[in-house]
């Protein structure tokens, strides 16, 4: 590892500790990521974005800390927040390992514990981000209202305004979202990661799983499970089985995964193009 003086100096300002070496980390499509070796012998992870949207890193740090509150009670692990500012976030380094069945089972049980750790009304005290996109979190009394008004309507409006989805597809998605109360059973708000796709699940040494890059809020717990299933996760059947054993899901949960996937598909349509909008419409059609 060499030492990038500018990056090292910024990290030292936040950490109050000397950085002896830095190395670029590949994989992120939004932020620049760097591995830091500190004079204490500790290794850290720095991500930076300039210019970053308002409160971009602060919201991420707050989400990690909120999820970490469930960790002492058996909840899923998150990296410790070492420093945060408007332009960057510094986390403890997570050493990668290969996925295995033991870690998958432990992750399923831990995720169930996090979901059950308690949350307020559906939503959050502050709006956040999912990827680069704003994430409205204004609380609402029911999941059906929150899902339709905070998770479907804002992104569908962007897609309509930009002509990314057809009027017919948009109407199909909107109609399915309006049926949320009839489709999804009532449950108390769960403590959600909110963007729990494969890339945000780190398989770590010691048969641990650590989650990163949250878009955290209080929502329906099936949402995180639907995100895990949408783009695939190693050892997913073991994760789901362990979760269901620890915190049994309401009958028909597997059939509802597609409904919960409407939101991330719309997010992907906003970020990457219309094929995801058409895919969301096909999924929505099943719930009319």
Q: Which fold has domain 101-285?
A: Aminoglycoside 3'-phosphotransferase; Chain: A, domain 2 (3.90.1200)
Q: Where in the chain is the domain with CATH 3.30.200.20?
A: 5-92
Distance CA 200, CA 210 (A): 8
Q: Place 76 in a pLDDT band, splitting at 50, 70 and 90.
A: very high
For residue 263, is pLDDT > 70?
Answer: yes
Confidence of residue 1 (pLDDT cuts 50, 70, 90): low
Residue 157 host element (H or E): helix 153-161
66 pLDDT higher than 70:
yes
| Distance between start and end Cα atoms, the chain | 56
Please compute the mean of the pLDDT values over residues 58-72 and round it to a whole number. 96
pLDDT at 79: 97
User: With pLDDT > 70 as the criterion, what percentage of the chain qualifies?
Assistant: 99
Beta-sheet strand order (sheet of 81-85): 19-25, 32-38, 43-48, 88-92, 81-85
Query: Residues with catalytic annotation?
Result: 195
pLDDT band at 2 (very low <50, low <70, confident <90, very high): confident
Instruction: Average the pLDDT over each of 2-16, 70-84, 212-226 and give the range with the smallest value.
Output: 2-16
Question: What mean pLDDT is reported for the chain?
Answer: 95
**Cis peptide leading into residue 51 (ω within 30°):** yes
5-92 fold: Phosphorylase Kinase; domain 1 (3.30.200)
| Mean pLDDT of all residues in 43-54 | 94
Where does CATH 3.90.1200.10 sit in the chain?
Answer: 101-285
Q: For residues 141-158, b (16+ Cβ closer than 10 Å) or e, as one string?
A: eebbebbbebbbebbbeb
Q: 83-141: per-residue pLDDT in tens? A: 999 999 999 999 999 999 999 999 999 999 999 998 989 999 999 999 999 999 999 99
Give the pLDDT band of residue 274 (cuts 50, 70, 90). Answer: confident
Give the residue among 263, 265, 242, 256 at the shortest CA–CA distance from 106.
242
CB 235 within 8 Å of CB 198: no
Question: How high is the pLDDT of residue 193?
Answer: 98
Segment 187-224, tens digit of pLDDT: 999 999 999 999 999 999 999 999 999 999 999 999 99
Q: Whole-model pTM?
A: 0.95
Is the pLDDT reported for residue 5 higher than 90? Answer: no
């Amino acid at each position: 590892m060499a030492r990038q003086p500018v990056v090292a100096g910024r990290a030292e300002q936040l950490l109050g500790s000397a950085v002896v070496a830095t190395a670029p980390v590949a994989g992120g499509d939004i932020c620049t990521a760097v591995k830091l070796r500190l004079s204490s012998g500790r290794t850290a992870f720095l991500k930076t974005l300039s210019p970053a949207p308002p409160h971009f890193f602060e919201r991420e740090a707050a989400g990690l800390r909120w999820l970490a509150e469930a960790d002492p009670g058996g909840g899923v692990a998150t990296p410790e927040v070492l420093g945060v500012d408007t332009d960057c976030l510094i986390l403890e380094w997570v050493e990668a390992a290969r996925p295995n069945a033991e870690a998958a089972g432990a992750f399923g049980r831990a995720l169930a514990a996090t979901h059950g750790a308690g949350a307020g009304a559906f939503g959050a005290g502050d709006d956040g981000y999912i990827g680069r996109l704003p994430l409205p979190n204004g609380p609402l009394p029911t999941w059906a209202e929150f899902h339709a008004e905070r998770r479907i309507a804002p992104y569908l409006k962007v897609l309509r305004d930009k002509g990314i989805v057809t009027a017919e597809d948009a109407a199909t998605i909107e109609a399915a979202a309006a049926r949320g109360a009839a489709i999804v059973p009532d449950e108390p708000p769960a403590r959600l990661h909110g963007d729990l796709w494969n890339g945000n699940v780190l398989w770590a040494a010691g048969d641990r799983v650590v989650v990163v890059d949250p878009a955290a809020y209080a929502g329906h717990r099936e949402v995180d499970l639907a995100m895990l299933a949408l783009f695939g996760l190693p050892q997913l059947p073991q994760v789901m089985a362990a979760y269901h054993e620890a915190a049994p899901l309401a009958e028909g949960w597997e059939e509802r995964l597609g409904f919960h996937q409407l939101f991330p598909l719309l997010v992907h349509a906003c970020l990457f193009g219309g094929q995801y909008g058409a895919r969301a419409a096909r999924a929505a059609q099943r719930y009319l």
